[in-house]
Amino acid sequence: MIDTRELGRRPGAMRRLQRVVPAPDNLSSPVIEVTPGSDIDLDLRLESVMEGVLVSGTAAVLVAGECGRCLDALHAGLDVDIQELYVYPGHADPDDELPEIVEEMLDLEPALRDAVVLALPQLPLCKPDCAGLCAECGERLDDVASDHTHARANPRWAVLARLTDLADDEPADDTSPAYDTREN
């Protein structure tokens, strides 16, 4: 809740508001969330206009989730732009559903929630060029050598693998026991 009394109703009046608020629960998308209870740094400008108060500025939030490519845990800061017009009672146009100023207070949370959820990335990445996971072994590709390959990825080995497959298809006439009895 933000008190608008200090601002006054004279159009053009302006006030900067910097405040740290705890993040509400469930400020999230299916893939990433704002850490509940973490600090949200608000840096807002309140501007008195004819029909109400225009709030604009940024909310700096802390998000947590996992990288959409390599699945590593991800913690990052995100700056979210906020802009919302709050109207005085009686100035509300029923068609445009603007939030109202109630008893000279305005409720920032719905606007904050909408802005943050909209700003959350669809595909969170630990870094923009994250190479993801190796399709063969599941290793994180940024953690392994750049020439990380598997035998099957090499065409020469692929030929050998095919030959081995052919051999396996032949009738097994040289069946050997699982262990060598001569050692006993």
Using CB under 5 A as the criterion, which residues of the chain lie in contact with Zn ion when the complex forms? 67, 69-70, 126, 130, 134, 136-137, 139
What's the min distance (Å) between Cβ of 132 and Zn ion? 7
**Residue 5: which residues within 8 A CB-CB, separation 6 or more?**
104
What's the min distance (Å) between Cβ of 145 and Zn ion? 10
Report which residue type is found at 98.
Answer: L
d(CA 67, CA 142): 13
d(CA 29, CA 80): 15
The smaller minimum CB distance to Zn ion, of residues 152 and 162, is found at 152
The smaller minimum CB distance to Zn ion, of residues 9 and 148, is found at 148
Q: How far is CA 171 from the centre of its chain?
A: 56
**Residue 31: which residues within 8 A CB-CB, separation 6 or more?**
65, 66, 68, 120, 121, 122, 123, 124
What's the min distance (Å) between Cβ of 151 and Zn ion? 11
The smaller minimum CB distance to Zn ion, of residues 80 and 126, is found at 126
What's the min distance (Å) between Cβ of 163 and Zn ion? 23
**Residue 99: which residues within 8 A CB-CB, separation 6 or more?**
84, 86, 87, 106, 107, 110, 111
The smaller minimum CB distance to Zn ion, of residues 85 and 134, is found at 134
The smaller minimum CB distance to Zn ion, of residues 123 and 159, is found at 123
What's the min distance (Å) between Cβ of 139 and Zn ion? 5
